[in-house]
Structure 1
Amino acid sequence: MARWHESHPGPALAGAAEPGGDAAADADAPSRLSALRAAVRIGTTLDEDATCAELTREVARLVGGAAAVLDIGGEAGPRYEAVVGNPAELPAPGWAAAQAPGRGEGGSRPVLGNGRRVLCVPLITASGQRYGVLVSGREEATFTQAEVEAVALLAATAASHVRHAREYDAVSGMVGKLQRALLSEPGRPHPNLDVAIRYLPVGQNTLIGGDWCETVRLHFGRTLLVVGDVMGHGLEAAVDMNAYRSSLRYTASSDLPPHRILRQLDDLASNEPERRPATCLIAQIDPNRGQVTCASAGHLPPAVVERHGRTSLLPVPVGPPLGTGLGGYERATYRLDSDQTLLLFTDGLVERRGEDIDQSLDRLAHLDLGAASAVEDLLDMVLTRLDARHAEDDVAVLAARLHHRSAQAPVAAR
């Protein structure tokens, strides 16, 4: 690579071609309009790697030869990324790093080397943030002043988009940490209850939204099972979800029946004008009596899976969502035996776009899941049969089954 040892700094971006330059080559150089057209094809996503690939592709298309982004901040030393064209036309990474302008005066200017056949342009923003060096090289024609200016324009455009991409990644990382903190593990149920929980957020970039599940251990072997759904998605819904969840844990410690817990949650939420409304279903399981007591705040009813796999819905009186301040919640109590599995879920499990909710619930109510299996396996089967991984909304679902109880159908106990 000895041919790359010759170098000299190039002129500033303003001005015409150097005296003695090739006038014919300048005539064929890219126009500012073609450079602007190339610039709009850079930064189409908030992804740094994609932006670098778009930059080198547009540079190679505009001036020919090879192009790459030089990463000079890695522990392994300088290296090329997003290479387009013949790599042999590029100088050695170490040489290019040595010729790259520093951070001081002139640090944003392009540098020409090897008889003007190598062009190094720093990826630097107007505020001075630097993200590497664009390196372009070719064997034959030298770079003209017009080409230097066109490539510098593309490099500045890419640097701005790389800055946005890194800022987006930093914010996303902080949001992800907060969302993971909000998605704390539910409390432990009593040992006389098998519980399985699944949470499937909608969208690839979302870790958690407003859907949640909770279990609270009560006295005398009882367990409180809860699912809730805060209006909306994303971080704001997750913050409100955490507020409802904290209120529930505090209220449940007083050992109130489900409908009175909902009343307390509604009162607390309605006194906070910024709190988003939420639906909620509470089921209190009492293994000693073999029964479950449910209350609903605008939420869908629970389902029961029988020993042979047949599924049905338990009718529960529906009160207004939490946060309205209207109250008016009622409870309903049913038999629950050890060969029956109780399912609590949010609407993302069953709802489909353009479909009536009664039809959606009917699909769940007519599931035949076969002979009884472990509660974890049964829950996975429900998610698969309802194609929950392609749902259009967040999905939270909780399955619970008692230990050592005789089989009986759920019959209303008033």
Structure 2
Amino acid sequence: MGFDQLPLKSLFTGAEDALLSMLADAPAEAVEKAHEYKILRDVLDGTSAAVAILDERLRFRYVNDAMARMSGVPPGAFHGRTMAEVLPGIHRSEDVLRMVLGDGRPRALSVTGTTHVSSPFRQRQWSAVYHRLDHGDRVLGLCGIAVEVSGLRQYMDDLERAHQRLALLDTAATRVGTTLRVEQTCAELAEFVVPSLADRASVRIVDTQEADDLPPPAPGVLRLRIMASAGGPDIVARIGLTATSGYYFDVPRDSPVRSCLDTGRPWVGNLASDDVLLKMLRTPLDLEVVRELGVHSIVVVPLPTREHPVGVLYLLRAGDSAPFTDEDVVVAQELAARAAVAIDNARQYTLEHSMALELQRALLSEPGGPHPDVETASRYLPAGQRALVGGDWFDSMALPCGRTLQVMGDVMGHGFTAAVAMSQYRSLLRTIAASGAPVEQILQEADHRLASIGLDRVATCLLALVDPGQGTCTFAGAGHPPPVLLHPDAPAELVHVPTGPPLGTDLGGYEAVTLPVRPGTVLLMYTDGLIEDRRRDIDASLRRLTHLRLDLDGPLESVVDALLARLVHGTTEDDVTLLATRLRGP
């Protein structure tokens, strides 16, 4: 007969003291048993583990004080009732308990849920073990012992979330900032946070340049440009920001977005009211669209740099998605901080690249003019997107006695400073060449003067003095790749020019070499971007030039185009500059 077949009464009712009094004159063995009963009761009531005894119908017959404290329910309220009746917020598998009743094998299970007692933990959890109670061949019920592991569970959950956060940040390092293009970097950030952190996202950058087709912002208003958005319907397009405004968003001083930019702290609007969201949006129409899309929570995170934020990242959650947690905001801040570095680098690169490219193109677009009996064609091909503009330059100068000086140079390094240094080299060479000095002396004087100026960038240079009257070409080089003569009726010829040190070293020691040049022969001068290739030895690249077979009878521009089609495929690792020269026939 089990507990459920006995009259419903509580076990261990606390009558041990009365029992000992009744047994005062009883045999010693009975008194000893009563003392053992009291010790057992003291153990059950003194332990911090929750102990309960259930009958075969899983009704409580006994709970100790720890169980009562843990649940916030008096012990008497448990008697004769099931867990679901006493604590409906607790979840445990009763199928497991019935298995213990059936086969007698103890089992451990996890119990989760809430009780009537407040808890500092996000979710309460207990580890419980249930044993079957037998008396001879009879099954009496179950004894359950449980200890709370909420703290350990929360610690493990926090640790797992920390690992997930680190994994997310590690992945972001490989997926955000893969190029030096601002638009691409912003798009990578927006696409990365959806759906891992938000349902929709947009990246908005502080605009520092005035657009010709837009009125300037009002005083005190900051203009943001929407660079990228991701996730579901395009909210930006829906609220009309892509129309005449050209993806611009004006932020007044009292806007929460402006506060984010000024303070560097995120703004969180969980389950935000219409009044709150209206402060973030431009018009009631924008609010209507956002609500139509089911957006209920918004987080705005600044994109910080050393000086000031470059913009903000908008994160939106909609529909059944939970509001943002504090941890979500921390992750968003870390992602924004990393992405901001990439965005700022891309902006700086774009600015410097544009300035250097404009300067270089301006200088290259104004070469001197050769004599009429010498025709020239040139090309300048900037390197791929990852490389900065270099210091390549060329020039063509008509000198006395019908001679023409052709110049090809390359300043060490890349970027705006290299382009500026290139202009100094070019101007100085023009000044010295006007004196009519031999080419080796031009290099000697330029080397000395440039060293005295103190430029921190040396340059390679090749001079070719073309003399149609004598039918000759005199070369002198300062560490520059050798020129090539493309003959109409013979194999191409690599000219072995005596190698001198780069300009700006003040080492001097330049020599000249003179070769005959017939009308129709094409002189090719170039920078090292044409021949440098990580996959090919430099000597092999030079040999490719001597194996060229081109039709030299057509326009010189066509010859240069055909040459580039043979030698350049896709983007190059360095800038490529070409200068082709041909003597006109009689």
2:145 aligned residue: none
Describe the superposition over 1:273-317 as per-residue Cα deviations: whole angstroms up to 9, x where unpaired. Answer: 543333221111122333222222233332221224731133433
1:68 aligned residue: 201
1:242 CA displacement: 2.6
Contact 2:393/2:408 (<8 A) preserved: yes
Bigger-Rg structure (1/2): 2
Per the normalisation by structure 2, the TM-score is 0.55
1:247 CA displacement: 1.3
For residues 257-336 of structure 1, what are the structure 2 equivalents within 5 Å? 257-308=438-489, 310-336=491-517
For residues 46-195 of structure 1, what are the structure 2 equivalents within 5 Å? 48-50=182-184, 52-57=186-191, 59-62=193-196, 66-69=199-202, 81-85=228-232, 101-104=256-259, 108-113=266-271, 118-125=296-303, 129=309, 131-132=311-312, 134-140=314-320, 142-143=322-323, 147-161=324-338, 163-164=340-341, 165-166=343-344, 168-183=346-361, 184-185=363-364, 186-195=367-376
The gaps in structure 1 that reach 5 residues or longer are 1-18, 406-414
For residues 26-37 of structure 1, what are the structure 2 equivalents within 5 Å? 31-37=161-167
Change over 3 Å in CA distance of 1:62–1:187 after alignment to 2: same
Q: Secondary structure at the match of 1:211?
A: strand
User: 1-side partners of 2:299 and 2:227: how far apart?
Assistant: 14
Matched residue type, 1:140: D
Matched residue type, 2:358: R
User: 1-side partners of 2:422 and 2:239: how far apart?
Assistant: 51
1:54 CA displacement: 4.9
Q: Secondary structure at the match of 2:351?
A: helix
Per the normalisation by structure 1, the TM-score is 0.75
Q: Is it true that 1:376 corresponds to 2:557 in the alignment?
A: yes
More helix by share: 2
1:225 aligned residue: 406
User: 1-side partners of 2:385 and 2:259: how far apart?
Assistant: 42
Matched residue type, 1:286: D
1:161 CA displacement: 4.4
Structure 1 range deviating more: 188-197 or 270-279: 270-279
1:359 CA displacement: 3.8
1:267 CA displacement: 1.2
Over the matched positions of the two proteins, sequence identity in percent amounts to 33
1:375 CA displacement: 0.9
- Which of 548, 551, 570 matches 1:367? 548
Change over 3 Å in CA distance of 1:354–1:250 after alignment to 2: same
Matched residue type, 1:169: R
Change over 3 Å in CA distance of 1:389–1:255 after alignment to 2: farther
User: 2-side partners of 1:254 and 1:103: how far apart?
Assistant: 62
Matched residue type, 2:269: V
1:223 CA displacement: 1.3
Change over 3 Å in CA distance of 1:229–1:156 after alignment to 2: same
1:258 CA displacement: 0.9
Matched residue type, 1:103: R
1:398 CA displacement: 0.9
1:382 CA displacement: 1.8
Describe the superposition over 1:130-188 as per-residue Cα deviations: whole angstroms up to 9, x where unpaired. Answer: 73452423323542xxx422332243234434543146414531442134214412222
Matched residue type, 2:268: P
Describe the superposition over 1:354-389 as per-residue Cα deviations: whole angstroms up to 9, x where unpaired. Answer: 755444333212321135221111112222222365
Contact 1:194/1:402 (<8 A) preserved: yes
User: 2-side partners of 1:331 and 1:141: how far apart?
Assistant: 77
| Greater RCO structure (CA 8 Å; 6+ sep) | 1
1:111 CA displacement: 0.8
Change over 3 Å in CA distance of 1:149–1:52 after alignment to 2: farther
Q: Secondary structure at the match of 1:157?
A: helix
Q: Secondary structure at the match of 2:401?
A: coil
Structure 1 range deviating more: 204-213 or 386-395: 386-395
Change over 3 Å in CA distance of 1:81–1:356 after alignment to 2: closer
Describe the superposition over 1:217-270 as per-residue Cα deviations: whole angstroms up to 9, x where unpaired. Answer: 222332110112333344444343332212101111212121111111121133
Matched residue type, 1:149: D
1:5 aligned residue: none
Q: Secondary structure at the match of 1:210?
A: strand
Q: Secondary structure at the match of 2:383?
A: coil
Contact 1:71/1:133 (<8 A) preserved: yes
Superposed CA RMSD:
4.2
Change over 3 Å in CA distance of 1:134–1:148 after alignment to 2: farther
1:63 CA displacement: 5.8
Structure 1 range deviating more: 323-332 or 189-198: 323-332
1:242 aligned residue: 423
